[in-house]
Amino acid sequence: MILSTELRGKHMGFAWGQGNIFVYETLFKATGSGSPFIHEVRKDEDIYSPILRKLFNESHHIFVGLQTIREDLPSKNKKPQFVSISKNYRSVIRACMEELQQVAVSTKNAEMSVQYGNQVSILLAIELIWNLCEVLFIDAAPAGSLLLHLLDWVRLHKADVDEKARDVLQSDSPAEHRDYWDVVVSYVLQGRLDEARQMLGKKATLTPAANNIFKMMDNLLSKMPFYNPGGTQTLTEFDVKWRHWHEEVDRCLQDNSFASNQHLEVLCKILLGDEDTLLEHKDLLGTWYHFLVSRLLFCHPTVKPTELHYYAQSCMTMFLDSRSAPEPLDSILLAAFEFDIHQVIKDCSIALNNWWFVAHLTDLLDHCKLLQSHNLHFGSNLREFLLLEYASGLFTHHSLWQLAVDYFDHCLEFGRVYLELQIERVPLDTERKALKVLRICEQRQMSEQVRSICKIMAMRALRNNRLGSALSWSIRAKDAAFATLISERFLQDYCAKGTFSDLDLIDNLGPAMLLSDRLTFLGKYREFHKLYGEKRFKEAAKLLLSLMTAKIAPRSFWMTLLTDALPLLEQKEVIFSADQTYELMFCLEELTSSLNTPSSDSDKSMQEEDVELTKVELLRLALSRNLAMAIVKEGTVET
């Protein structure tokens, strides 16, 4: 929430961030003092709630499992799988809800309690809608079982009946509890006739005089037929049976059998499905959909899915006062009864502030092949659009971005593009996080991103003077230009300090050495040092010469190389052959001629020039001496 009191009356500027807006005070005129604060307006607070995070993580797990269901199975076998996945999602929602409920009750902070309460009610609504969608769309129960499922649905979402019943049963005299008849009626309204009979039995024992009518009611209740989907009875047979029962109940009512007991008469009327009686118990029903299901149970238990929406519309109108407008939840449920999936999704998207629900539900429905390819303006289908929105929202979270990667993977059209854009913006605080991000990019062959991430890490290492680390990052990215840069730094360091850092890295470059010329030179130069250290002078000499003649070494480094050659030239034993010495002299001449050109730095101090000259002198002397010794040695005939 924006701190509106502070900012009222002031000019505001804003800048879009990722998933949020930065709002700051600005001044259109240059006078006055501004405020140094920047306010962050976050679009979606839910992903920061620790309890809801569990919802996101668990549902991610289910989502990934769903995507990997094999496509080649016939759809008949897949339906139970989809139903069970839907149940998984719902149980995750329920678990979250229960936890939120516990926290809402136990927290001392009133504001938080209200917030938790809100979240609980939103989750309740979500679960209600999901359950209905599961019954109607995924399970797609036919007539007969449809009503049974709807009954289950209503029973699940009207938990207060059990509470009341518990209160009544635990009291001293249940039959005389003031809620007694409410409980009985509620049981009947939900089709829980066995429990209703049990309750009635308690009253019956109390009033032995009215035993007859209680027995009659008990009889009626026990005989009410319920459709058994797994049984041998067909729907028509069930319908016939049900009509007989219905007529029997009607006869009882017409005979005024229950006239002596007002409550039992009400029960009888309910069993007949009398609308007015049902509407009298609005408070027990609570919602129009409960009214709908109860009405269907006692009027038309063989309702077909296609007929549902007539009843739904009429029930809703009957139940709600004409003055009050239907709430968003009501219109969503109505759309569901009308089998208008798109309307359901659309309404839910508008009503909820988080894409979680619509994204996952749409994905599941899409897997059930229930969504026609409903192409949106920019080409991708509805499922992909919603998943992309949801995943983009996740990416703004400092921690949940890893979940979003899997979501993008399963959006075939645009997922990769989104991922490429987003993954570069993940802040890389530690090497370990960078490694994880890199692994994600490498698995998906996103070489651009790999390069850019490695470059970031390499620059950071370079800034902290960790040259070896920087080099290894640039090798991983196969970034030749950067590798060249770092090799230059290594060489500069060597010139400055006389030693190499990170020797083991350079020693063991292996084939990575070929990444860049400068890097190859660095590796070979280090090899020269190693050979020298192992006193393999001849090989060292050859290597040194090849570095210069093959033009691997940069011209700027030749002086250093020649200086390195000095100790080899000064050895007692002749190491450089005559030919090699000639070549060295040639290199020296090339070097000095380029040094003497007028383009050389004129701001070199006199001292430096002296040093240069001395070096060249020494070299010339050493070279000539070596040449002499070499010619002598080569000319000598061994006797």
The correct pick among 404, 475, 540, 565 for binding other proteins (CB under 8 A) is 475
Q: Over the range 72-82, which residues count as b (16 or more CB within 10 Å of their CB) and which as e?
A: eeeeeebeeeb
Q: Over the range 47-59, which residues count as b (16 or more CB within 10 Å of their CB) and which as e?
A: bebebbbebbebb
Minimum separation from the CB atom of position 401 to other proteins (A): 9
Secondary structure of 209-228 in HEC code, one letter for each residue? HHHHHHHHHHHHHHHCCCCC
For tokens 């960078």, what's the residue? Answer: 434
The correct pick among 403, 477, 485, 619 for binding other proteins (CB under 8 A) is 403
54 binds other proteins (CB under 8 A): yes
- Stretch in the footprint of other proteins (CB under 8 A) among 76-84, 129-137, 395-403, 516-524: 395-403
- Stretch in the footprint of other proteins (CB under 8 A) among 182-190, 425-433, 573-581, 599-607: 425-433
DSSP character for 553? S
446 binds other proteins (CB under 8 A): no
d(CA 370, CA 16): 37
d(CA 187, CA 181): 10
489 binds other proteins (CB under 8 A): no
Give the Å distances, CA to CA, from 73 to 13, 48, 85, 637. Answer: 56, 39, 16, 88
Contact 4, 21 (CB under 8 A): no
The correct pick among 422, 472, 484, 487 for binding other proteins (CB under 8 A) is 472
Burial class (CB in 10 A: 0-12, 13-18, 19+), 464: exposed
The correct pick among 9, 32, 36, 50 for binding other proteins (CB under 8 A) is 50
104 binds other proteins (CB under 8 A): no
Residue 446: half-sphere exposure toward Cβ, Cα within 13 Å: 23
535 binds other proteins (CB under 8 A): no
Minimum separation from the CB atom of position 23 to other proteins (A): 20
436 binds other proteins (CB under 8 A): yes
Contact 444, 423 (CB under 8 A): no
d(CA 30, CA 22): 21
46 binds other proteins (CB under 8 A): no
Minimum separation from the CB atom of position 57 to other proteins (A): 5
Residues 491-530 contacting other proteins, CB under 8 A: 501-502, 504-505, 507-510, 512
The correct pick among 13, 17, 34, 65 for binding other proteins (CB under 8 A) is 65
In the numeric block, which tokens belong to residue 166? 């518990």
Size of the site for other proteins (CB under 8 A): 43
Minimum separation from the CB atom of position 62 to other proteins (A): 10
In the numeric block, which tokens belong to residue 181? 């008849």
d(CA 585, CA 580): 9
Give the Å distances, CA to CA, from 534 to 445, 527, 530, 563. Answer: 43, 10, 6, 19
394 binds other proteins (CB under 8 A): no
The correct pick among 121, 212, 399, 571 for binding other proteins (CB under 8 A) is 399
Minimum separation from the CB atom of position 487 to other proteins (A): 14
Residue 95 vs 235, nearer CB to other proteins: 95
66 binds other proteins (CB under 8 A): no
- Interface residues with other proteins (CB under 8 A) are 50-51, 53-54, 57-58, 60-61, 64-65, 68, 398-399, 402-403, 429-433, 435-436, 439, 443, 463-466, 468-469, 471-472, 475-476, 501-502, 504-505, 507-510, 512
